[in-house]
Amino acid sequence: MEWLVSLVGAGLVMVTLRDLFHTLWHPTRHGGLSRLVMTALWGLARRFRARRRVVGLVGPLAMVAVVCMWAGTVILGWAIVYWPHMPGAFTFSPGSEAAQESALLDSLYLSLVTVATLGLGDIAPGEGWLRVVSPLEALVGFALLTATVSWVLEIYPALTRRRVLAIRLALLRDVDPTQRQIDCTAGAMLLHSLAIDVVRVRVDFTQYAEAYYFHDGEDNSSLAAMVGSAATLAERGQAAGRSEVRLAGDVLADALKDLATILDQRFLHTGGTPTDVFAAYAADHGRAS
């Protein structure tokens, strides 16, 4: 029975590590624990009346909630591993009052101290297999800290790329280039560069799905509000007289279609056309379609 309880704790740790792996290094379409937390917070924030102010905090708060969930489940899982073997399989420092506490409390304390790599030493594993397991928890704690830092450093450049594209589209919308201005070599280069930016954003939504739950703020930096301008430019390019401009327009249109497919598969689930998907994307982020 003791080993069965320990296996339950080990299973909880493995589930957490699997979720961390698929969130940071091998994203998939299937939502894990982190995706469930972020989706739940996003849906909850949308119900508030002060929507823009609340939704703007969802992304950062969701990342904090996910990291706390990872840390909490790792600590709890390892505590369950220790619990059935406490206190008999452990040694206590002389004068320590830890042995007078409940086995569960001592297990939680030891797990927290170990995952934080503090190494206070007042409770130490006595059996051989515990001498191996306990340092592994410290390694997991260090990996969790490193993963959290790398996650933050990766997600914000992705948000910057998305907002830069939105601002570019806003500037082009304000300039409102004519068909003649589009139908030239410079117009082809412009459409091609926009297609590259759209592909980058598409990859970001695939690699960093949590970026979807970050609100972009003002309209000019919101891709949800500006993506329609890219579709308009693609249509102008496809209707141009020069073959290179038509080609660039087709590439931009296909890039937008691919982006719409990713948004629909991973977040919106409308099953509609790219126009329908972008309208749903704008509505989900509180923007006019």
Give DSSP secondary structure letters for 197-231.
HHHHHHHHHHH-GGGGGS---SGGG-HHHHHHHHH
Judged against a pLDDT cut of 50, whether residue 170 lies above it is answered with: yes
The residue to which tokens 């996650």 are assigned: 151
Percentage of residues in the chain with pLDDT exceeding 70? 92
**b (16+ CB within 10 A) / e for 151-187:** beeebeebbebbbebbbbbbebbeeeeeeeebbeeeb
- Lowest mean pLDDT across 68-72, 85-89, 181-185, 256-260: 85-89
Whole-prediction pTM: 0.84
Q: What local confidence, expressed as pLDDT, does residue 289 receive? A: 43
- Exposed (0-12), middle (13-18) or buried (19+): which is 265, by Cβ within 10 Å? middle
| CA 254 to mean position of chain CA atoms | 25
Q: Is residue 181 over pLDDT 70?
A: yes
Among 119-128, 184-193, 197-206, which is the least confidently predicted range? 119-128
Say which amino acid occupies 80. I
What is residue 174's predicted lDDT score, i.e. its pLDDT?
Answer: 94
* Per-residue pLDDT reduced to its tens digit, 227-238: 999 999 999 999
On average, the pLDDT of the chain sits at 88
Three-state DSSP at 17 gives helix
| CB within 8 Å of 244: residues ≥ 6 apart | 185, 188
Share of the chain above pLDDT 90, in %: 57
Q: Which residue intervals of the chain are DSSP H helices?
A: 2-24, 33-46, 51-55, 58-82, 103-115, 128-175, 179-182, 185-207, 223-238, 243-263, 274-284
In this prediction, residues 120-136 reach a mean pLDDT of 85
Q: Among positive and negative, which fits the CA dihedral 97, 102, 107, 108?
A: negative
The two three-digit tokens of residue 189, written as one number: 């280069």
pLDDT score at 216: 83
